[in-house]
């Protein structure tokens, strides 16, 4: 049986609220947590495969040019070497995800330092690495384009990403208060804990790849396209993924090269990227230059918003960082000018890093809003509340729900915002200057097509989908939905994920995984409940399922008795529909931060931080909180430490490991507080849930930067706010 639901109308039934098991929304531990902390969860590069050999990539040492010759013979003669492969099917760069085709291929043309050109296969990893280091690749260099702000570069303006309403110049000229500033954000690396890795093996024409991937439904098609084979001959297994943050959305070099190598040598091949290779060959977040113009009347109500963003990308790639994504709807203003420009550079492919768009766009917009609040003499919280639109300011569509004002009020109360002194340098603790800052949070909400099979048997419930769990809690959340709907204890629910032989899910990306696949599970469970109700002679709404029993009227029947004829299995399918177009859907929140700035050294310490979030129904309070803690930690890194640094002469990434790419560590992260607002959004999904993972980063860095200004009076417009930038102002 198939239960197919298309979201063409809001689902106001709140069916999960009517269930009796009492597990939905609870802060339950991850069902696979014990496996992970004990080391028993098997990741991509850990599968015990008989006859395994190893491969290592050989990569470009120049930023732009052509491969003229690869001297294979000396390396092929080395001990343990099985093959040296320079196949035109090797990826130039990773796929972006949500695609059916591989990205631009072919190793002969070089577009950035680190681009894979060949792969060496040997009996052991050490032999393969040594041989790869000895392989001579002769190249002919060409002039590389490396500076995103070079005046000679052509700026592309893609259609659909530009907005012009009213007369912004006139609004700026007539404004009582205005801001016109340029801000910059650096490139970022996803830096997942688990490096990209794959083990490929062939059985005739059928390929099996154990890989670290986020979106298997798409990755299968991308890999098949890269290899020139049929998707039905490809199986990808990714039951555990050690983080992705966007870098594993699409198929990457490891899976394609391992597959080509395994075919060539007739044996399973393992290929894992080193940490430096992860930095140099996978996705980066583009750097940005953003000009923000804000015009406000005497009461602080915006009359004009201008947001112009310049980002970079490789030649030929369609994706570009959607910097202004939230600017379109966050604040009301009749006069609007939003510009999106792209320059083509010979740097690593730019792609989706956690919360693409809002992560850096809201960081800048919320910094500018703080500057406007100070200039107008209006409390930053109040300024934002005065400018919340009643409907989408660019399309006049209603919002599916809008919780920004509630989040701002709740955060201000919990954080004791009223004690903030608006005058910089007014509060100190010895040689430390203390400041408070805040920002709004927002992230577009999306529902994606998803499928899952749910089977109810006398032994419990089984859920099957190719959906992935990249550390976000998918295994547990899906089990909670099924347990709640079917009246089962959590230990009776088995969730099987990360296998393309299973029904296709949307994958982990865009913060849509839990709401989308959870809705597919919900739809299947509803049909199972209808089957049980029919057996009992009642309607589904009159049926209560709890602790393995069915209750209706005065009858209480064990589910095992109703399943005497065999299990009930339903394929649930959810599909986005009119609700994604008829209303503006977004999650909202607010960040509040307290920082200390050392008056002598300009060192910054975040002393406390609060995030208040509204994201529809919270399916698991613990895993949702964990996602927000991670997002806020991302925000601390963006604000203070993280930046990809390229050598301006060659484009090489200088800080290409965890020693030099400064992620926040324990000493940088204080006790973080997360607070969820009660919300049900019937437009978002049948389970009234929205995305949560990326909301926690969208604007977080601005609250810290704004607190720095309140502490010491130095405004940093070139992120991150490192001490050298602050010291100059002190």
Tell me which residues are annotated as active site: 694
Burial of 181 (0-12, 13-18, 19+ CB in 10 A): middle
- Tell me the residue ranges of DSSP E strands in 135-287: 136-141, 163-165, 177-185, 188-189, 197-203, 206-211, 234-237, 269-272, 284-285
Asked if 282 and 223 count as a contact pair (C-beta separation under 8 A), the reply is no
Helices 253-265 & 216-227 angle (0-180, nearest 10): 50
Secondary structure class of 581 (helix, strand, coil): helix
Handedness of CA 139, 142, 143, 147 (dihedral sign): negative
Secondary structure class of 138 (helix, strand, coil): strand
Give phi and psi for 561, each to the nearest 5.
-70, -40
Q: Whole-angstrom Cα distance, residue 532 to residue 547?
A: 15
What Rg do the C-alpha atoms of the chain give, in angstroms?
27
- Tell me the residue ranges of DSSP E strands in 510-649: 544-546, 549-552, 555-558, 568-576, 586-598, 604-614
Q: Which of 627, 708, 707 has its CA nearest to residue 443? A: 627
Asked if 177 and 372 count as a contact pair (C-beta separation under 8 A), the reply is yes
Cα 318–Cα 719–Cα 375 angle in degrees, nearest 5: 110
Q: Whole-angstrom Cα distance, residue 504 to residue 388?
A: 38
Strand partners, 556: 551
Q: Whole-angstrom Cα distance, residue 112 to residue 346?
A: 5
Burial of 612 (0-12, 13-18, 19+ CB in 10 A): buried
Question: Pseudo-torsion of CA 73, 79, 83, 86, nearest 10°?
Answer: -50
Handedness of CA 362, 368, 372, 374 (dihedral sign): positive
């Amino acid at each position: 049986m198939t239960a197919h639901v298309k979201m063409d109308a809001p689902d106001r039934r709140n069916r999960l609220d009517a269930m009796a098991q009492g597990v939905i929304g609870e802060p339950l531990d991850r069902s696979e947590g014990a496996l992970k902390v004990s080391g028993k969860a098997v990741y991509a590069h850990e599968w015990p495969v008989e006859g395994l050999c190893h491969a290592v990539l050989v990569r470009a040492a120049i930023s732009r040019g052509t491969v003229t010759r690869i001297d294979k013979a000396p390396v092929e003669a080395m001990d343990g070497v099985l093959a040296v492969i320079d196949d035109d099917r090797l990826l130039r760069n990773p796929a972006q995800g949500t695609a059916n085709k591989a990205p631009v291929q072919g190793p002969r043309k070089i577009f950035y330092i680190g681009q894979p050109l060949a792969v060496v296969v040997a009996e052991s990893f050490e032999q393969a690495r040594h041989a790869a280091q000895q392989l001579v690749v002769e190249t002919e260099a060409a002039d590389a384009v490396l500076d995103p702000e070079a005046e000679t570069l052509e700026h592309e303006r893609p259609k659909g990403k530009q907005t012009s309403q009213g007369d912004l110049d006139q609004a700026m000229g007539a404004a009582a208060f205005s801001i016109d500033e340029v801000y910059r954000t650096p490139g970022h690396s996803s830096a997942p804990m688990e490096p990209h890795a794959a083990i490929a093996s062939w059985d005739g024409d059928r390929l099996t790849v154990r890989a670290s991937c986020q979106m298997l439904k798409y990755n299968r098609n991308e890999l098949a396209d890269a290899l020139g084979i049929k998707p039905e001959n490809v199986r990808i297994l990714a039951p555990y993924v050690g983080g992705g943050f966007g870098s594993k959305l699409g198929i990457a070099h490891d899976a394609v090269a391992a597959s080509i190598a395994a075919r060539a040598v007739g044996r399973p091949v393992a290929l894992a990227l080193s940490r430096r290779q992860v930095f140099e060959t996978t996705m980066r977040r583009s750097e940005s230059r953003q000009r923000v113009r804000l015009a406000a009347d005497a009461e602080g109500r915006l009359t004009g918003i201008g947001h112009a963003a310049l980002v970079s990308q490789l030649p030929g790639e369609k994706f570009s960082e959607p910097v202004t994504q939230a600017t379109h709807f966050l604040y009301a203003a009749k006069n609007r000018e939003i510009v999106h420009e792209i320059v083509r550079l010979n740097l690593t492919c730019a792609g989706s890093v956690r919360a693409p768009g809002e992560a850096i766009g809201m960081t800048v917009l919320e910094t500018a809003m703080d500057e406007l609040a100070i200039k107008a003499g209006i409390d930053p919280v109040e300024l934002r509340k005065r400018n919340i639109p009643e409907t989408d300011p660019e399309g006049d569509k209603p919002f599916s729900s809008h919780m920004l004002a509630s989040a701002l009020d709740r955060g201000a109360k919990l954080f004791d915002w009223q004690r903030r002194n608006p005058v910089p340098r007014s509060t100190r603790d010895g040689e430390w200057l203390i400041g408070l800052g805040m920002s709004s949070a927002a992230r577009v909400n999306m529902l994606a097509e998803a499928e899952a099979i749910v089977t109810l048997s006398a032994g419990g419930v089984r859920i099957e989908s190719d959906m992935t769990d990249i550390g976000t809690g998918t295994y547990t959340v899906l089990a909670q939905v099924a347990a709640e709907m079917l009246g089962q204890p959590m230990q009776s629910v088995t969730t099987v994920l990360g296998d393309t032989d299973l029904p296709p899910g949307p994958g982990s990306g865009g913060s849509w995984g839990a709401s989308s696949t959870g809705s597919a599970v919900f739809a299947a469970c509803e049909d199972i409940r209808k089957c049980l109700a029919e057996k009992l002679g009642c309607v589904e709404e009159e049926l209560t399922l709890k602790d393995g029993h069915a209750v209706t009227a005065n009858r209480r029947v064990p589910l095992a008795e109703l399943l005497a004829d065999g299990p009930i299995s339903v394929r649930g399918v959810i599909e986005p529909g009119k609700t994604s177009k008829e209303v503006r859907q977004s999650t909202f929140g607010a960040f509040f931060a307290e920082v200390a700035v050392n008056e002598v050294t300009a060192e910054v310490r975040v002393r406390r931080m609060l995030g208040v979030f509204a994201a529809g129904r919270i399916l698991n309070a613990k895993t949702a909180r964990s996602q927000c803690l991670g997002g806020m930690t991302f925000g601390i890194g963006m604000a203070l430490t993280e930046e990809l640094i390229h050598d301006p002469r060659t484009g090489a990434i200088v800080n290409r490991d965890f020693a030099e790419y400064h992620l926040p560590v324990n000493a940088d992260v204080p006790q973080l507080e997360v607070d969820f607002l009660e919300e049900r959004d019937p437009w978002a999904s049948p389970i009234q849930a929205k995305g949560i993972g990326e909301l926690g980063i969208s604007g977080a860095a601005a609250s810290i930067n704004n607190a720095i200004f309140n502490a010491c009076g130095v405004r940093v417009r070139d992120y991150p706010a490192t001490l050298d930038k602050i010291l100059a102002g002190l």
